[in-house]
Amino acid sequence: MSTFQAPKGTYDLLPPDSATYLAVREAISAPLRNSGYGYIETPGFENVELFARGVGESTDIVTKEMYAFETKGGDKLALRPEGTASVLRAALEANLHKGGNLPVKLWYSGSYYRYERPQKGRYRHFSQVGAEAIGAEDPALDAELIILADQAYRSLGLRNFRILLNSLGDKECRPVYRAALQEFLRGLDLDDDTRRRVDINPLRVLDDKREAVRKQLTGAPALGDYLCEACKAYHEQVRELLTAAGVAFEDDANLVRGLDYYTRTTFEFVHDGLGSQSAVGGGGRYDGLSEMIGGPALPSVGWALGVDRTVLALEAEGVTLDIPAATAVYAVPLGEEARRVLFGQVTALRKAGIATDFAFGGKGLKNAMKSANRSGARLALVAGERDLAEGVVQLKNLESGEQTAVPLDTVVDEVRRTLG
- Mean pLDDT of the residues in the chain: 91
Q: What is the pLDDT of residue 316?
A: 94
236 pLDDT above the threshold of 60? yes
Calpha distance 409→25 (Å, rounded): 39
pTM: 0.89
C-alpha angle 52/71/290, rounded to 5°? 30
Calpha distance 106→274 (Å, rounded): 29
Calpha distance 258→273 (Å, rounded): 22
417 pLDDT above the threshold of 60? yes
261 pLDDT above the threshold of 80? no
Task: Map out the domains of the chain as residue ranges.
Answer: 17-173+227-317, 329-419
Displacement of CA 225 from its chain's centroid (Å): 34
Task: Identify the CATH class of 329-419.
Answer: alpha beta
Q: 3.30.930.10, 3.40.50.280, 3.40.50.20, 2.60.120.1140: which CATH number matches 17-173+227-317?
A: 3.30.930.10
348 pLDDT above the threshold of 70? yes
Q: For residue 290, which of 95, 110, 145, 111 has the smallest C-alpha distance?
A: 95
Helix (H, G, I), strand (E, B) or coil at 30: helix
Tens of pLDDT, residue by residue over 172-217, are 888 888 889 889 999 888 888 888 888 887 887 887 778 888 888 8
Calpha distance 52→89 (Å, rounded): 13
Which tops the pLDDT comparison, 276 or 30? 30
